[in-house]
Amino acid sequence: MDTRLSEFEPISIQKYVQELDLLANPILNAKEKEFLADFYEFIEKNLDKDLRALEELNYYVEEPTQDKKRDIVIKIMKKLAENGYYSTTLNENEYEVGKITRNALIAYALCGGRWSDYSERYIAGNWSIEMGRLAGGTLYCNPVNYKANDYQREKFLNPIAKDGAIAASAMTEFNAGSDIFRMELNLQVTDDKVIAKGKKVFITNGMIADYIILYGRINNGPLGAVIVDTEHQQLKNFRSARIRTYGMRDAFVSRLIFDRVELPRENLLQGNGLDIAFHQLTEERLVIGAEALGDAMKKLLYSHTYALHRRQFEQRLHEYQVIRFPISANIRQLNLLLTALINYTRELDKRPELGGSKLMAAQAMGLKIQTTELAFEAATHCFRTMGGRGFIRQYSNPIGLLDAYCMLHGGGSNYVLEDSESRRLFKYKPTRRELEDVIPKIDL
């Protein structure tokens, strides 16, 4: 059943807004603009039809849509990979823009979409699809690229990074969310096998993935990581199911069960699981920041359009300051944060050793917090500006109105990040003098 009411006109973005166009932003250099312009053209020519087909499926209720969605998502990831847009880990020398900056520009564009001068319409972005790209292309490919031996690289990196197979990164468990040290999934390692037993939850791409990097405890001890080839989801004793989310409706966020799944010992990655998972943390935070900014841009475009056209009390909505001010305040903030983001990604590309810097990781964490909060705020303003329409599927669906709500938790919950950020600021080591002052008092 189609849920759309014929009385409601779709909100159609009809006006180019220079302040919301990254290609017009003076912060990007010529090479970055060229890369971004090519990617926008790729979205318009190769993905737009698929993205619209996904949007269409979200209007239906009481009809099975999951298999259709899965096929479209798989097709999109393949197209991205064929054009070097899925993972940016390989073939670095072929590009004039660094891999982290490329990753961030793709993320921004895929979430935000863009006004097309060519066809004079808005080409939609989709944060769920970008989440799937991030999970496979970055959260899976980067750690595998970091630790894989030649055999593992050939077998478990190239099919994903080059050919676009779907992949996932499985860390979160029912009892180990923010507190990742509480992970319980056991990886029992024998001479020739690894036997995985345990459950994972909230795993993006989990139920459509061909490959999963699975984190767990090696023989119930230290954390490790193993690659699971799901044999196209037919692997014995492995089960996966979709978790129904209210936002991110085209991302296959899943629950996974490993009921003594047997894996070849060659699939085990060498090294500590936490190091494998977190060595690319700074990049991940920056790319999520780019996603959030792309998403905020999209929400602002929709709020702007609606405020321009909707009339109430014989005025257009934008004539009321209460509607106009939050939109322009958010646009100012968006452009400031974009400047910070591009400077961080460029610097990290130039000096890869910064990936190991604690201060850089903290600054990327700060950016992740501010950008996802901005996306959240822009979504809230959009919801307010649209009145009752924001509440129904017909309008919230093309805008992806609730996506930003999920991302206050994805990639590290904002409260946890804020707590550790503020703790670090107030970390206090007493001076020798202070210690000496205290010791005599204790002696007394």
Judged by beta carbon, residue 171 or residue 225, the one nearer ligand FAD is: 171
Judged by beta carbon, residue 111 or residue 203, the one nearer ligand FAD is: 203
Length of the chain measured in residues: 444
At its nearest, how many Å lie between ligand FAD and the CB of residue 120?
33
Check binding of 254 to ligand FAD (CB under 6 A). no
Q: Which of 100, 196, 248, 338 binds ligand FAD (CB under 6 A)?
A: 248
Judged by beta carbon, residue 37 or residue 201, the one nearer ligand FAD is: 201
The candidate with the shortest Cα–Cα distance to 340, out of 417, 379, 414, 286, is 286
Judged by beta carbon, residue 127 or residue 383, the one nearer ligand FAD is: 127
Judged by beta carbon, residue 154 or residue 179, the one nearer ligand FAD is: 179
The candidate with the shortest Cα–Cα distance to 112, out of 253, 299, 283, 240, is 299
Check binding of 129 to ligand FAD (CB under 6 A). no
Count the Cβ atoms, other than its own, within 10 Å of residue 414.
19
Which residue blocks in 229-320 are alpha helix, DSSP H?
273-278, 281-309
The percent of the chain in helix, strand and coil, each rounded to the nearest 5, is 55, 15, 30
Looking only at residues 181 through 210 of this chain, which bind ligand FAD when binding is defined by CB under 6 A?
202-204
Check binding of 223 to ligand FAD (CB under 6 A). no
Check binding of 135 to ligand FAD (CB under 6 A). yes
Q: Which helix (H) or strand (E) holds 229?
A: strand 223-229
Judged by beta carbon, residue 252 or residue 395, the one nearer ligand FAD is: 252
Strands, E assignment, 275-429:
311-312, 315-316
Rounded Cα gap, residues 61 and 394, in angstroms: 12
Binding region for ligand FAD (CB under 6 A) out of 37-45, 98-106, 319-327, 414-422? 414-422
Judged by beta carbon, residue 98 or residue 247, the one nearer ligand FAD is: 247
For strands 211-218 and 223-229, give the pairing: antiparallel
Check binding of 169 to ligand FAD (CB under 6 A). yes
Tokens matching residue 228: 């699971």
Binding region for ligand FAD (CB under 6 A) out of 60-68, 286-294, 394-402, 407-415? 407-415
Check binding of 253 to ligand FAD (CB under 6 A). yes
Distance (Å) of CA 260 to CA 187, 209, 237, 301, 317:
9, 19, 6, 49, 59
Check binding of 410 to ligand FAD (CB under 6 A). yes
How many residues sit in the footprint of ligand FAD (CB under 6 A)?
A: 20
Distance (Å) of CA 267 to CA 21, 147, 228:
44, 11, 7
Check binding of 422 to ligand FAD (CB under 6 A). no
Check binding of 409 to ligand FAD (CB under 6 A). yes
Q: Which of 171, 256, 261, 399 binds ligand FAD (CB under 6 A)?
A: 171
Long-range contacts of 153-158 (CB under 8 A, 24+ apart): 156/211, 156/227, 156/229, 156/267, 157/89, 157/90
Check binding of 354 to ligand FAD (CB under 6 A). no
Tokens matching residue 246: 């209210």
Judged by beta carbon, residue 33 or residue 409, the one nearer ligand FAD is: 409
Q: Contact residues for ligand FAD (CB under 6 A)?
A: 135, 168-172, 177-178, 202-204, 248, 253, 406, 409-410, 413, 415-416, 419
